[in-house]
Amino acid sequence: MAPKRALITGITGQDGSYLAEFLLARGYEVIGMVRRSSTVNFERIRHIQDKITLVSGDLLDEVSLIHILREHRPHEVYNLAAQSFVQTSWPQPVFTGETTALGVTRLLDAVRIVDPEIRFYQASSSEMFGKVVEVPQKETTPFYPRSPYGVAKVYGHWITVNYRESYGMHATSGILFNHESPRRGLEFVTRKISHGVARIKLGLDEELRLGNLEARRDWGFAGDYVEAMWLMLQQDQPEDYVIATGETHSVREFCELAFGYVGLDYRDYVVIDQRFMRPAEVDLLIGDASKARQKLGWQPRTTFPELVQMMVEADLQLVKEQMR
Ligand code: NDP
Ligand code: GDR
């Protein structure tokens, strides 16, 4: 049987790299869309670059999307591309909307034009829940986004549902709670902490400046979560699913564990800096992934302490290599 082909947008990001590995291991041909940038940023996919096909395109340019779909005819499209950093969505609300919201319509419509049988995955987010309306949050919990990013993701979510209902497309939205890894961008709080811990432990820094330590998140491991994306597209019926661990921890707890792992007390190093506070905060996220467990047979494998340890160890290794 000919291998299945998958197109991943956002392949240079954290999730894109894990999903590409996952699909390659299942015999897929993987096509990754990359946008032009002045410096090449293929660090996360360098180890698999000879096994995947990289194509040039941008969610801001629908023509590029149509060309890619026509040329490569994927069976599955995973739309992971986005302006994904919540903090940046305040200073850049229009760009965030263009990419994270309207970008989804451009890609969905390109799929509809080229071949509406292509299965489509949209990377929706727990940020759509925003202000606490219900705990734990599940597929039926009403959305109340608290950032331009969250608002854009709500649009992306509903346009995916709408294309499914309007055109009968196999379009699915995975509502994923925070998921982290050693490949997480350095600006996100978990990686900022694990990297900061490594630099402090190795004598390069004396403090770590953070914002709100009381925010609580449901943090899982990205490597576990990409499997759920794939499972969603293997179902006969396209539906939306929450993917989460069902546990919540504060930024403070993350610090405590991460510093504790190298024998340090976070209270001696963490400095609160107003620059990292947000105009509107999401205080508490905790997901109920029972539907995914029952229908997809999915559950997370990595525990919170294992995740923290994995990230700190990887950053210790990385910083040591950089010091050589
Ligand atoms: P990253 O920020 O690591 O990756 C984002 C990717 O999108 C990068 O490859 C980036 O390319 C690409 N991209 C950005 N803008 C465009 C554009 N205009 N056209 C084409 N590509 C673009 O995000 P993650 O891997 O963490 O997340 C993947 C997706 O899942 C995102 O949509 C995110 O919003 C969503 N999500 C993430 C969660 C998480 O906890 N990680 C939770 C829930 C949802 P470049 O490298 O050139 O910048
Ligand atoms: P989030 O992730 O906004 O949940 O979005 P982030 O790691 O940026 O923030 C998590 C929480 O930590 C608090 N915080 C800080 N955050 C950052 N980045 N830097 C700091 O110094 C800092 N100090 C405290 C924040 O206020 C916040 O409460 C991520 C992204 O991957 C989104 O794309 C995705 O949709 C959601 O997760 C689910």
**CA 296 to the chain's CA centroid:** 19
Q: Which atom of ligand 1 is nearest to the CA of 58?
A: 19
Q: Whose CA is nearest to atom 28 of ligand 2?
A: 215
Q: Which atom of ligand 2 is nearest to the CA of 86?
A: 3
| pLDDT value for 227 | 98
Active site residue 149: yes
| pLDDT value for 1 | 78
Distance between CA atoms of 156 and 153, rounded to whole angstroms?
Answer: 5
Residue pointed to by tokens 């105009």: 279
What topology does CATH give the domain 185-217+248-285+303-323?
UDP-galactose 4-epimerase; domain 1 (3.90.25)
Ligand nearest to the CA of 43: 1
Distance 11 CA to ligand 1 centre (A): 8
Residue pointed to by tokens 């210790």: 316
Dihedral angle computed from the Cα positions of residues 233, 172, 5 and 102, in that order, rounded to the nearest 10 degrees: -170
Domain residues of the chain, as ranges? Answer: 5-179+219-243, 185-217+248-285+303-323
Distance between CA atoms of 324 and 322, rounded to whole angstroms?
Answer: 6
CB of 88 closer than 6 angstroms to any ligand 2 atom: no
Comparing CA positions, the residue from 221, 223, 278, 264 lying closest to residue 244 is 221
Q: Under a CB-based contact definition with an 8 Å cutoff, are residues 287 and 249 in contact?
A: no
pLDDT in tens, 185-242: 999 999 999 999 999 999 999 999 999 999 999 999 999 999 999 999 999 999 999 9
| pLDDT value for 256 | 98
Handedness of CA 82, 88, 93, 95 (dihedral sign): negative
Instruction: Collect the ranges in the chain with pLDDT lower than 50.
Output: none
| pLDDT value for 113 | 98
Distance between CA atoms of 317 and 315, rounded to whole angstroms?
Answer: 5
Catalytic position from the list 84, 89, 125, 181: 125
Ligand nearest to the CA of 272: 2
CATH superfamily to which 5-179+219-243 belongs: NAD(P)-binding Rossmann-like Domain (3.40.50.720)
Distance 209 CA to ligand 2 centre (A): 14
Q: Is the pTM of this model over 0.90?
A: yes
